[in-house]
Amino acid sequence: MTKRAANAAKGIAGIAVTVALWEAARALGVVDPRDLPSTAAIIRAAAEGLWGGELARAVAATIGSWTPGLLLAALAGAAGGIALALLPRLEIATRPVLEFLRPIPSVALIPVALLVLGVGLEMQLFMIAFASIWPILFSTKTGVEGVDPRFMETGRVLHLGPSARIVRIVLPAALPSFATGLRTASAIALVVAITVEMLTGQAGIGSYIENVRLNGLITEMWAAIFVTGVLGYLINTLFVTVERAVMPWSPENRDR
Amino acid sequence: MTVKGHQIAPLAWQAATVVALVALWQWAALTHPAVYLPPIGRVVDGYIRLWHGDLLANALLPSLYRLATGLLAAIVIGCAAGIALGSLRWLDPWVRPTLEYLRFIPAVAILPAALLVFGPTDQMRIFVIAFGSVFPVLLAATDGARRVDPILLDVARVSGLSTIERLIRVVLPAALPSVFSGVRVALSIALVMMVISELIAADDGLGFYILRNQRLFQTANVYAGVLTIGTIGLVLTLALLAIEKRVLAWHRGWRGLTETNRG
A251 burial via Cβ count (<10 Å: 0-12, 13-18, 19+): exposed
CA distance B170 to B173: 6
What is the tens place of the pLDDT at every residue in A170-216? 888 889 999 999 999 999 999 999 999 999 999 999 999 999 999 99
- pLDDT for position B196: 94
What is the tens place of the pLDDT at every residue in A18-57? 999 999 998 888 888 888 999 999 999 999 999 988 999 9
pLDDT at B2 over 60: no
ipTM above 0.90, yes or no: no
Asked if A10 is an interface residue toward chain B (Cβ–Cβ < 8 A), one would say yes
Contact indicator for B183, B137 with CB cutoff of 8 Å: yes
Share of chain A above pLDDT 90, in %: 61
Q: Which of B104, B129, B214, B240 to mutate to test the interface with A (most CBs of A within 10 A)?
A: B104
Residues 13-72 of B with CB under 8 A from A: 13-14, 16-18, 21, 35-36
3-state helix, strand, coil in chain B (%, to 5): 85, 0, 15
Full 3-state SS string of A180-219: HHHHHHHHHHHHHHHHHHHHHCCCCHHHHHHHHHHCCCHH
User: Which of the four pLDDT bands, split at 50, 70 and 90, describes residue B127?
Assistant: very high
Q: Which of A118-132, A147-161, B6-20 is the most confident on average?
A: A118-132
Give Cα A252 distance to the centre of its chain: 20
CA distance A160 to A148: 16
For residue A15, the SS3 value is: helix
- pLDDT for position B154: 86
The C-alpha angle A9, A15, A21, rounded to 5 degrees, equals 135
Which residues in chain B have Cβ-Cβ distances shorter than 8 Å to A107? 192, 195-196, 199
Q: Closest residue of B to A201, CA-based?
A: B200
- CA atoms lying within 13 Å on the CB side of residue A140: 28
- pLDDT for position A1: 58
pLDDT at B190 over 90: yes
Which residues in chain A have Cβ-Cβ distances shorter than 8 Å to B229? 104-105, 108
**Strands annotated E in chain A:** none
- pLDDT for position A109: 92
Asked if A215 is an interface residue toward chain B (Cβ–Cβ < 8 A), one would say no
- Residue-wise DSSP of B139-184: HHHHHHHHTS-HHHHHHHHHTT--HHHHIIIIIHHHHHHHHHHHHH
Residues 119-148 of A with CB under 8 A from B: none
Indicate the residue of B36, B191, B229 with minimum beta-carbon distance to A115: B36
Q: Single out the residue of A90, A15, A8 nearest to residue B95, CA to CA.
A: A15
CA distance B237 to B230: 11
What distances in angstroms separate CA A234 from CA A197, A231, A239, one per listed residue?
Answer: 21, 5, 9
